[in-house]
Amino acid sequence: MPQNQIYILQLDPGAPKQILKGRLELISLSDPDRQYEFVAHNCQHSTRTDNIVVNDVEMTVPGSLGDALRQLRRMNSARPLWLDTICVDASSHQLSPEVESWSLVTRYRAHALLVWLGEHHDFGAATFRRFVNTIASLDKMGPGSLEASHETLSALEGPMPIDFDDGCLQSVVAKKSGSRVVVGETEADYETTIKALRWMKSFGYESPSLLADWKI
> Do residues 137 and 195 make contact, with C-beta atoms less than 8 angstroms apart?
no
Q: List the domain boundaries for the chain.
A: 5-110, 125-211
| pLDDT(126) > 50 | yes
For residue 97, the model assigns a pLDDT of 55
Q: Which of left, alpha, beta for 55 (phi over 0: left; psi -120 to 50: alpha)?
A: left
pLDDT digits (tens, 9 = 90+) for 55-65: 999 999 999 99
What is the average pLDDT across 137-145? 69
At residue 215's C-alpha, the angle toward residues 194 and 187, to 5°, is: 30
Q: Has residue 83 got a pLDDT over 90?
A: yes
Sheet holding 20-28, edge to edge: 57-62, 49-54, 20-28, 5-11, 79-82, 37-40, 112-118, 180-183, 186-188
Q: What is the pTM of this model?
A: 0.86
**Which pLDDT tens digit goes with each residue over 162-185?**
888 877 899 999 999 999 999 989
Is residue 48 over pLDDT 70? Answer: yes
3-state secondary structure 39-69: EECCCCCCCCEEEEEECCEEEEEEHHHHHHH
Q: From 13, 4, 152, 157, select the one nearest 73 (Cα to Cα).
A: 13
Give percent of the chain above pLDDT 70: 84
Enumerate the β-bridge partners of residue 59: 52
Comparison of pLDDT for 103 and 168, the residue scoring more: 168
> Looking at 11-15, 50-54, 176-180, 208-212, which range is the least confident one?
208-212
Across 2-11, 131-140, 195-204, the highest mean pLDDT is recorded for: 195-204
Q: Which of 62, 67, 79, 68 is nearest to 11 (CA)?
A: 79
